Amino acid sequence: MARPIIIVNCKTYPQATGKNAVRLAKLCETAAGKYNADIRIAVQATDISLVAKSVGIPVYAQHVDPASPGQSTGWITAHAIKAAGARGSLVNHAEHRLDNTTIAASVDALRREQLDAIVCAESVQRLQEIDAAAAGAMMLCVEPPELIGGDISVSVARPEIVTHAVGATKRPLLIGAGIKTGEDLAIALRLGAKGVLLASGIVLAKDQAAALKNLLAER
């Protein structure tokens, strides 16, 4: 069985900031080996170096700008996140949306640095637009915004979205929004997704290690 791809997005939660980001990344690394999963973690830009030095699993930025290195103050460049130890970045997360031109430029910037570009979309239609615009994306992810942070996952509440999204692209597809349990993951994989992008189900859990076990142990 192929190893599912799990990207844990720390967002800006205090429970996954600074030393807490390192702690969670180490839990993810342990779970990856124990449950034979490809677990990656997306952290705030300020935490990339700290986390990347602490674990061997892939560390991603949560956002990258299409600016080139040089005379550009206040931007997060692909060159900078690579220097900090990131293996890639999320692009166009529902909480940091971009237009298609900016998405394409951001993906190009990542690819020039030989970094992974995981591009998010809020719907299947948007997924198709991004699929056409961002030729260098390594993976796509569909996340209905109305289900993000909720109690019911997209794989349970709207499985047809997963099916339609899988059929809409030839790229590897992740799904996100409300993912928490092994059942959520199993349904996503059964419908053709390669894995999931999740945040609160792990980050905000009282016992993050137990939440990872609940996601992965019985798939």
**Residues with a known catalytic role:** 93, 143
Which class for 13: exposed (0-12), middle (13-18), buried (19 or more C-beta within 10 A)? middle
Tell me the CA distances in angstroms from 156 to 13, 147, 190, 195, one per residue in order: 25, 11, 12, 15
Please say whether the beta carbons of 141 and 175 come within 8 A: yes
- 3-state SS, residue 199: coil
Give the strand pairing for 38-43 and 5-9.
parallel
Beta bridge partners of 108: none
Q: How far apart are CA 139 and CA 170, in angstroms?
A: 10
Look at residue 181 and give its three-state secondary structure: coil
* Cα Rg of the chain (Å, integer): 16
Rounded CA separation 36/140 (Å): 22
